Structure 1
Amino acid sequence: MNKKLTGFLLALGLVLSPVAGHTQQKDTASADSGKGLDRMSKELDLSADQRSKVEAILETEKSKVEAIFNEERQKLQAVQQGTRASLEGVLTPEQMSKLDQKMRENAKNAPKKK
Structure 2
Amino acid sequence: MSEQRGTGAAILATLRSRISDGEYRPGYRLPPQRALAEEFEVSRDTIQRVLNELKTEGWIESRQGSGSRVRATLPIHVSTQPKVSPGRTARAQAEAIRDGQIRAPERIALRLLLPSDTTELPYPRA
TM-score category of the 2 structures, normalised to the smaller one: under 0.3
The structure with the largest alpha-carbon Rg is 1
Greater percentage in strand: 2
Larger RCO (alpha carbons 8 Å, 6+ apart):
1
Q: TM-score, normalised by structure 2?
A: 0.23
